Every structure is written in structure tokens, then in C-alpha cells.
Amino acid sequence: MAFCMRDSLDRRIIRELQKNARASTSTIAQSIGVARSTVHERIARMEKDGTIAGYSVVLSRNPGEETVQILMLLEIRQQDTRKILQRLNAYPEIQVCFSINGEFDLFVTAEAPRIEDLDVLVDEIGEIPGIVRTNTFVVFGRKIDRRSDETAERIFRQMQALSATGDA
């Protein structure tokens, strides 16, 4: 299905869902100033046409509950890519997996409460058939992190700009 928001109302509904995917249609309707039935119909259409692919949980960071994060570079046999990605997807510690160019093929970020948990994870990933070699880095600190609300806001602004130029 093609990702296609038809107008600014779709974008406003998406923005409200990005803020709180559990918000009721009544709450969304009230915040953007339209009828509840309009919001319900729009969400149903966007789910059906694939614009909304699903809903997810965003875990908060409890300042008293520190986690350890690692970055991994993986060199893989290309013919095993699909099987490797299926295996990596089974690890809840893995937050992101990017396909990259260069000496390595995949860039993985993972986090866990204890470094020992990540040590086991790194060993297990290194044993996956088709992984040729790994290079792992422990993250000491986050100097810039724009992923949550700022990222959603940036995407919203980009969609508005595209809409204004007629490219959306």
C-alpha cells in the first residue's frame, strides 16, 4: 500500500496519534476541531490504505533506571540477509538495525539494564550463521538525542512544507 495522506486534516490526525496513539477519536476530534465521526472515518481509511501501518509502545526513560547501550557493526553473507534479520528481530534488546554501505553491512543499536546482558547478546549475535564478523562499541553517553517528540515535529513540518509546495 502507498503512503499517501490526502490533506492537512490527515496530517493533523496523524500528529495527534503520534503524540498519543491511545487517544480516543473524541479527544482527537476535540483537539483539532472536527467531528468525532470524521476522525473515525479518516483513521479507518488510513489504516485500510496502509498510511497507518500500526501502533506501538514508546517506553519512557526512567532517570533512576539506567540502561547500557551498544552499537554493533555486522559484516554478513548477503545470501543470508533475510535469515539474519529474522534472528535479529527476535532480540528485544535491539532497538534499531540499519542497512549500511562500506566495510560492514548492518548497523545495530541495542540496550539492556546491565552490560552483562549485552555481553551475552553480542556473543549470541556473533554465532548467528551468516554473520562474518562484528565490531561492538559501548556508548558512554548521549550528547544529542532528537528521536522522540522533536523527530515527530520535524516530520510534521516536512509534511506541511511538501503540502504547501503541492508535492504531497
Per-residue pLDDT reduced to its tens digit, 24-58: 999 999 999 999 999 999 999 999 988 888 887 76
Instruction: Indicate whether 76 and 110 sit together in one domain.
Output: yes
150 vs 118: CA distance, rounded Å: 28
Residue 150 has pLDDT above 50, yes or no: yes
Q: Give domain status of residue 91, yes or no.
A: yes
**DSSP annotation string for 74-86:** EEE-GGGHHHHHH
Q: Give domain status of residue 3, yes or no.
A: no
74 vs 134: CA distance, rounded Å: 5
| pTM of the full structure | 0.55
Instruction: Indicate whether 35 and 92 sit together in one domain.
Output: no
Q: Give domain status of residue 150, yes or no.
A: no
Lowest mean pLDDT among 7-21, 78-92, 97-111: 7-21
Q: Give domain status of residue 31, yes or no.
A: yes
Per-residue pLDDT reduced to its tens digit, 59-78: 555 555 678 999 999 999 99
Instruction: Indicate whether 76 and 134 sit together in one domain.
Output: yes
Q: Averaged over 144-148, what is the pLDDT?
A: 64
The proportion of the chain whose per-residue pLDDT surpasses 90, expressed as a percent, equals 54
| Torsion region of 102: left, alpha or beta (phi above 0 gives left; psi -120 to 50 gives alpha) | left
CA distances from 157 to 25, 118, 138, 146 (A): 23, 37, 34, 15
Q: Averaged over 98-107, what is the pLDDT?
A: 96
Determine the pLDDT at residue 1: 44
Q: Give domain status of residue 147, yes or no.
A: no
Instruction: Indicate whether 21 and 47 sit together in one domain.
Output: yes
Q: Give domain status of residue 153, yes or no.
A: no
How many domains is the chain built from? 2
Q: Give domain status of residue 145, yes or no.
A: no
Domain that residue 48 falls in: 8-57
Instruction: Indicate whether 26 and 74 sit together in one domain.
Output: no
